[in-house]
Amino acid sequence: MAERFGISRKTAHKWIKRFKAEGLKGLEELSRRPHSCPWQTDKRIVEDLVALRKASPSKGPKKLLGKLRKLHRFVELPAESTVAHILDRQGLVKAKRRHRRAHPGCSKRAATAPNGIWAADYKGQFRLKNGQYCFPLTVSDLYSRFLLGCEAHPAVSMEQTIAFFLRLFREYGLPNRIRTDNGVPFASCALGRLSALQVVYIKYGIYPDLIGPSKPQ
């Protein structure tokens, strides 16, 4: 039977013994939690810590540890991180709400004439026969669907991207808007999501238009 199920004979005897003692319930997975933990925080310290926190709800782990040292002078106290974990486990920590800057979202404007809106994107990179990667950058006019330019870059480069757009501006003129995704180098995590590339757009009087997150359509 042990050979059939690919286990050792010792393991087979263990499961048979547990089945004889407890039936089907004995075959259930048991908890792997250790029976004792030598480095577990003393119960008295936890109780005192909870009492101090309830008395001073605004005090954090560092200040609470200072008060605990006065109560337990000759006992090794837990670290600040452990105190924070204990307070959280006891339900004495309120989770802070993260305020994220809302994404402006893609404008509802549609291209009504050539050079109204350009669309730019780094199409997925692929490996060449020599082992190097190619990152194709494409720019098209959304009204005419004309491909204004397609250039292969060895990497996503801010300098090469800016130089590519400047060449297109000289050849085809300036668009009113340039619509891109939220990735590098088109956007950033800075104020207003402005990247160095978008600053160039603005200097030329072009409005940088970002699509909504995860909405390539």
Give yes or no: residues 85 and 128 share one domain. no
Kindly state whether residue 35 falls inside one of the protein's structural domains. no
At which residue do the structure tokens 């997925």 appear?
Answer: 124
Q: Which domain holds residue 13?
A: 1-30
| pTM summary value | 0.52
The closest of 193, 39, 168, 214 to 102, measured between CA atoms, is 193
Kindly state whether residue 64 falls inside one of the protein's structural domains. yes
CA distance 206 to 120: 14
Domain count, the chain: 3
Kindly state whether residue 1 falls inside one of the protein's structural domains. yes
Give yes or no: residues 4 and 70 share one domain. no
At which residue do the structure tokens 């540890």 appear?
Answer: 65
What pLDDT shows up at residue 41?
Answer: 86
What pLDDT shows up at residue 108?
Answer: 73
In tens, the pLDDT along 75-107 reads 888 899 999 999 998 888 887 776 666 555 566
Give yes or no: residues 139 and 55 share one domain. no
Cβ–Cβ under 8 Å, residues 172 and 69: no
Give yes or no: residues 122 and 65 share one domain. no
Helix (H/G/I), strand (E/B), else coil: 31 = coil
Q: Confidence class of residue 217 from pLDDT cuts 50, 70 and 90?
A: low
Helix (H) or strand (E) holding 152: strand 147-153
The enclosing domain of 197 has a CATH number of 3.30.420.10
Give yes or no: residues 122 and 206 share one domain. yes
CA distance 106 to 213: 9
In percent, the amount of the chain with pLDDT more than 90 equals: 50
Give yes or no: residues 125 and 198 share one domain. yes
What pLDDT shows up at residue 216?
Answer: 58
CA distance 38 to 44: 15
Give yes or no: residues 75 and 133 share one domain. no
Helix (H) or strand (E) holding 121: strand 117-122
